[in-house]
Amino acid sequence: MITVEAHLARVLAAVEPLTRRETLPLADAAGRTLAVDLVSHLDVPPFDNSAMDGYAVRRADLRGASPEAPVTLDVVADLPAGAAEDPAIRRGQAVRIMTGAPVPSGADAVVAVEATDGGVERVRIEVEPLAGRHIRRAGEDARRGTAVLTAGTVLAPRHLAAAAAAGHAVLDVVARPRVAVAATGSELVEPGEPLAHGSIPDSNSTLLAALVADAGAEVVAAARLHDEPDDVRAWLDRLPDCDLVICSGGVSVGDHDVVRAVLGTTGEVVFEQVAMQPGRPQAFGALADGTPVFGLPGNPVAVHVSFEMFARPAILRLLGRRAPTPVPLVVGAGWRSPAGRVQVMPVAVTTQVASLVAVPAYPGGSASHLVTGLAAADGFAVVPADVTEVAVGQTVPVLLAAR
């Protein structure tokens, strides 16, 4: 039996970040992984601009101004947002200015309209502004040439907005890893089709394909395969170019364990007992052409858990990203954990006054076949191998699942 850490280390050592890139318009880049550090093309904002609707002024004209001693200035220009002018402001003059409009170079403060009579030709001002008041300085958000986003960022709406503001219309993103998935098992039939005795709907194909897409990869092939070595060999032989292959089922030691029968003889795929519950039998290695291949166990909960612990980190590494760190959450209902194995427990996450709280997602614990119960999970608690009891009130690391 090897540890979870040792198996993961072997997986990550066999997978290299992709060098393939795509250049996408901002509108198509949401959810993709930025391939390079993104440097601002501009000062952001590009010019000093007004934070308020009001008047650009010279402070020297407003010394001592107050409600009791207002000062009246001539309004010599009117700058809406988008104005390109830089009107001169002489002694005793002001420029009417809207939020976002460029502050005239001769002004050293903006007075908000609320502190004036709002005049159009002449304006009465009742305050003496501080230097630079209501002026947003060029470059105060980001300087031209500085990095605003780092390589590896998963592009959320806010990142796309930052890229736009920094003058970028397109982004270089990492290509989606090309991943093939197969669920093996002669008992599996298309969901929704009639079931003979002994047959069950194939939920693993759906689960694997959706998890692969959720991790940011492209599903280039998906199959349901009988426990016939020739079927599995034929599928592998016909695969399009891909970066990773993930199979479920057939990795144990039974006569009909087809993935072991096909891949276990090549010497390039190692079949292990991993000290994890669920998901003990694990296969990982390479096909003849060098493509990394996972053989995950066949029970749906074990598939999901194995994906989170080993396959998702591999896909994220292909994308140049790190695997997510588990989040420490408070335990809201205790459970038992096997000695000597890392338990990966589906948990539901609820919000309480002081913290997020994790409770087992369904009765039956981490039993690996409870696929509908799995739907109630918000994440997976990763219970260390030397822990046998998880008590209410302690904290436990949780991998939050796809929302």
SS3 at position 388: coil
The rounded distance, in Å, linking the Cα atoms of 155 and 168 is: 14
Q: Which is nearer to a copy of itself, 19 or 351 (CB)?
A: 351
Distance, in Å, from the CA atom of 283 to the CA atom of 305, rounded to the nearest integer, reads 14
Q: Based on CB atoms, which residue is closest to a copy of itself, 206 or 287?
A: 206
Rg (CA), the chain: 31
Write down the least CB distance from residue 289 to a copy of itself, Å. 27
Minimum distance of a copy of itself from residue 351's CB (angstroms)? 5
Cα 103 from Cα 242, distance rounded (Å): 55
Distance (Å, whole) CA 401 – CA 21: 27
Residue whose token pair is 């260390």:
384
Query: Least separation, in Å, of the C-beta of 328 and a copy of itself?
Result: 6
Chain-centroid distance, C-alpha 280 = 28
State which H helix or E strand residue 235 sits in: helix 229-238
From CA 340, how far away is CA 384, in angstroms rounded? Answer: 8
Say if CB 284 and CB 295 are below 8 A apart: yes
Name the CA dihedral angle for 269, 275, 281, 285, rounded to a multiple of 10 degrees: -20
* Closest separation in Å from C-beta 174 to a copy of itself: 16
What are 180's two structure tokens?
Answer: 């093939």
Residues 6 or more apart from 391 whose CB is under 8 A from it?
A: 331, 334
Cβ proximity to a copy of itself: between 159 and 341 the closer is: 159
User: Which residue, 3 or 252, is less far from a copy of itself as judged by CB?
Assistant: 252
Six token digits for residue 117 = 């009579």
Please work out, in degrees rounded to the nearest 5, the angle formed at the alpha carbon of residue 344 by the alpha carbons of 333 and 283.
170
Q: Which tokens is 66 given? A: 């107050």
**Residue whose structure tokens are 């220009």:** 77
Contacts of 401 (CB under 8 A, 6+ apart): 308, 377, 378, 379, 380
Q: Find the shortest distance in angstroms from Cβ 215 to a copy of itself.
A: 10
Which residue(s) pair with 75 in the sheet? 94
Separation in Å, CA 332 to CA 172, 254, 358, 368, 394: 43, 39, 5, 22, 9
- For the bound state, the minimum distance from the C-beta of residue 63 to a copy of itself, rounded and expressed in Å, comes to 28
In the bound complex, what is the minimum distance in angstroms from residue 134's beta carbon to a copy of itself? 12
Q: CB neighbours of 375 closer than 8 A, spacing ≥ 6?
A: none
Shortest distance (Å) from residue 54 CB to a copy of itself: 9
Minimum Å gap between C-beta 228 and a copy of itself is: 11
Judge contact between 375 and 346, C-beta under 8 A: no
Nearer to a copy of itself, 92 or 328 (CB): 328
**286 vs 327, beta carbon nearer a copy of itself:** 327
| Residue 156 C-beta: closest distance to a copy of itself, Å | 5
Q: What values do phi and psi take at 291, rounded to 5?
A: -65, 130
Cβ 22 to a copy of itself shortest distance, Å: 17
